[in-house]
Amino acid sequence: MSFIPGIPVPIGGIEKKLGKLWDESGESKTRASLINLAIYNEKLGSLERNTEITRGIAGEHAMRAILIEADPKAEGSSAEAWITMHCYLRGSKGGSVCSEQISFQLAGMAARSLQSVVFSHLDSDLPLVLWWQADFHPPIDGKLWRWVDRLLFDSRHWKNPKEQFGLIRQISGLAEARTVLCDLNWARSLPVRQALAAIFDVPGNLSELQLLRKIELDHTAGSRTTAMLLVGWLADRLGWSLFNPSANPEFRDAQGNIVSIELRENEGASISRMNLASENAEFHLLRESGSDLYVTTAQGANIVTTTRILRAPREETREILLAELSRGGRHPLYTKAVKAVEELWE
């Protein structure tokens, strides 16, 4: 491969070589680690892309990064490893804070033996965050997930969401798993959910929430699952039940009123616009193309017309990952949101 992810090391000598690296680095470098972040990918070239990502987040979230490029379907077995460090200057004294990175390229049997080949190199006592960048394959291996404290994945990239959400449900149901499920697509929708929630913090607007009749949502071509998760979230929070599972689905609210949803593909941010119409008012959320701001507006009879501007985070993987890692905690509403629209997954 053209990209070399650090110093090559025999897998049995990783810890020793890392120790030597630290010895040679002098006193100006400080090792820091909050988590083990393992990133699993089955595509060739993923080590380079993921090294960029870990380099991008190490300055704000110290960790031991473990990158895995795996080809589990290959014949035989092969395993190679590299080590490197990501260092950042900290403070006025010129010292650096460094995160370690171990990269693996595994094929065949080695790729199917993550527990012995890879997880023996975890920084003990720190949580394991596993970012699974591949599809989940049945059957689910309960032993693997027992190791994992937080499982990151991104439903936006799934070609078969119905099957993948089913497998995720299996993982979350494993008796031995204590894994927290973190869909980066759910994290991606958080700023939109925050901005929407803020609209209804105004008491006058809040009463309209139960009277919503139509939702229009603009999303990019690759963000339909993000849009669906948002719809699922609204449905769960507002007690809607799906009765017309179509491309533009319809729900009934608790009083039996119809709430229609229109999902539209558009360019710009993954979710660039949401229009919510109630019986008496309209609420809008807009992120202009290229803008780092959300503008929300509320207008209608008996409510105070308001416009609000909020900072919209960049939608780069680094930002979403950092937000998710910093936020921590479980995501109980995620499972409910997925369930509320499960008939819509294709």
Partner 1 sequence: MPSPIVNPLREGIASRLTPEPCTLVIFGATGDLTHRKLIPALYNLAAEGALPPALTIIGFARREKTSEQFRKELEESTRKFSRTPLNEELWAQFASSIIYHQSPFDQAEGYTTLASQMDEADRNCGTGGNRLYYLAVAPDQFPVILSHLRESGFSTATQGSWARVIVEKPFGKDLKSAQLLNTLVSEVFPECDTYRIDHYLGKETAQNIMVMRFANSIFESLWDSNHISHVQITAVEPLGVEGRAGYYDTSGAMRDMIQNHLLQLLTLTAMEPPTSLSADAIRDEKVKVLRSLRPLRGDDVFKHVVRAQYTAGLIDGQPVSGYREADGVPKDSTTETFVALQVNIDNWRWAGVPFFIRTAKRMPKGGTEIAITFKSVPPVLFNRNGEGLDENVLVIRIQPDEGISLRMSAKMPGSSLRIEPVKMDFHYGTSFGKATPEAYERLLLDAMSGDATLFARRDEVEEAWAFVDGIEEAWKTRSDDLAFHTAGSWGPAEAADLAARHGVTWRRM
Give the residues lining the site for partner 1 (CB under 8 A). 30, 32-34, 59-62, 88, 90-91, 97, 190, 193-204, 206, 209, 234, 237-238, 292-293, 303-304, 306-311, 322, 326, 329, 331-333
CB-wise, 107 or 187, nearer to partner 1? 187
Residue 34 contacts residue 112 (beta carbons within 8 Å): no
How do beta strands 35-41 and 63-71 pair? parallel
Nearer to partner 1, 2 or 326 (CB): 326
Task: Give the phi and the psi of residue 158 in degrees, each rounded to 5.
Answer: -75, 135
Q: Alpha-carbon distance 282 to 305, whole Å?
A: 10
First-to-final CA distance of the chain: 36
With beta carbons less than 8 A apart as the criterion, state whether 266 and 220 touch: yes
Nearer to partner 1 (CB atom), residue 265 or residue 292: 292
Listed in sequence order, the residues at least 6 apart from 341 whose beta carbon sits closer than 8 Å to its beta carbon are 228, 229, 231, 232, 235, 242, 249
Residue 64 CB, nearest distance to partner 1 (Å)? 13
Are the CB atoms for 145 and 136 separated by under 8 Å? Answer: no
CA angle 145, 52, 133 (to 5 degrees): 30
Q: How many CB atoms lie within 10 A of CB 164?
A: 18
Tokens of residue 280, six digits: 């008496």
Q: How far is the CB of 291 from partner 1 (least distance, A)?
A: 9
Exposed/middle/buried for residue 60 (C-beta within 10 Å: 0-12, 13-18, 19+)? exposed
Minimal distance, residue 39 CB to partner 1, in Å? 19
Nearer to partner 1, 112 or 331 (CB): 331
Rounded to the nearest whole angstrom, what is the least distance from the CB of residue 61 to partner 1 in the complex? Answer: 7
Supply the minimum distance, in Å, between the C-beta of residue 115 and partner 1: 27
CA 14 to CA 83: how far, in whole Å? 7
Residue by residue, DSSP assigns 74-110 as SSSEEEEEEEEEEEEEETTTTEEEEEEEEEEEEEEGG
| Closer of 194 and 248 to partner 1 (Cβ) | 194
Smallest distance, partner 1 to C-beta of residue 305, A: 9
- Comparing CB distances to partner 1, the nearer of 107 and 199 is 199
CB 249 within 8 A of CB 344: yes
**Least distance CB 117 / partner 1 (angstroms):** 28
Cβ-based nearer residue to partner 1, 146 or 284: 284
The minimum distance between CB 171 and partner 1, in angstroms, equals 20
Measured from the CB atom, is 66 or 322 closer to partner 1? 322
Q: Which residue has the tokens 């795996």?
A: 70
CB of 198 to partner 1, least distance (A): 5
Token duo for residue 38: 């393992």
Q: Name the residue nearer to partner 1 (CB basis): 325 or 344.
A: 325
